[in-house]
Each structure stands twice: as structure tokens, then as C-alpha cells.
Amino acid sequence: MEISIQGVTKVNYELVIDEDVFNEACEEAGLDPANFKKFTKDQWDELNPHLIQAVVDSESEIDYTEIHCESSVYADTLTIDDSKNMTTVYYDKNRKTDSFEIM
């Protein structure tokens, strides 16, 4: 399974994270990562700050200069590509879930 977060922090970025990192973020948000396909908009909203923290914690793995300010990090799109489906979550400028789809 490949899980990636796309967003903006003075530059565009993409970070592929391990499933363990995604699972930990879900658990920190009080969510069961095995049920991500059933998450509601509110649950995706709860997960967003933990995704941002995963990006900040993995800064050295991102191909760009540096994060200038942690508060400028946005997780705009989350894509989870497991072998059966691709789940994509889109966040709006207020860091709230705009929409999500499972294909």
C-alpha cells in the first residue's frame, strides 16, 4: 500500500509515508486505521493535524529546501493506494474535508 500526502508550505511537496506512520496518525486521532474507507468527513478532519505532524516529523525525507514555519504546512490531499482501491481526501483552505472518494 502506498500512502502519500500532498500540500503546500511555501513550496509544493509530496511525502510517501509508511503504513505504520499512517496507522499511528489515525490512532493518535482516535481512529481505527483499518476502517479508513468508512471515515466520515469529521473523522478525516480529526486526522488532518496528525497528517501535518507526520510531514513535519519527516521533513528530512521531503525534496525541497526547508520548512520555514510549521504553521504554514497544509495537508491538502491525502491519497491511499491499496491494491484494491484508491482513496483520495481533499481538504479546503480551512483544513476541513472538502470531499473524499474511493475508486
Tell me the pTM. Answer: 0.70
In terms of Cβ atoms closer than 10 Å to its own Cβ (0-12, 13-18, 19+), residue 35 is: exposed
pLDDT at 95: 86
- % of the chain with per-residue pLDDT over 70: 94
Higher local confidence (pLDDT), 64 or 87: 87
pLDDT the model gives residue 66: 64
Residue-wise pLDDT tens digits, 7-26:
876 777 888 999 999 999 99
**Among the listed residues 97, 48, 98, the one whose alpha carbon sits nearest the alpha carbon of residue 74:** 48
From CA 27, how far away is CA 87, in angstroms rounded?
18
CB 17 within 8 A of CB 59: no
- Average predicted confidence (pLDDT) for the chain: 90
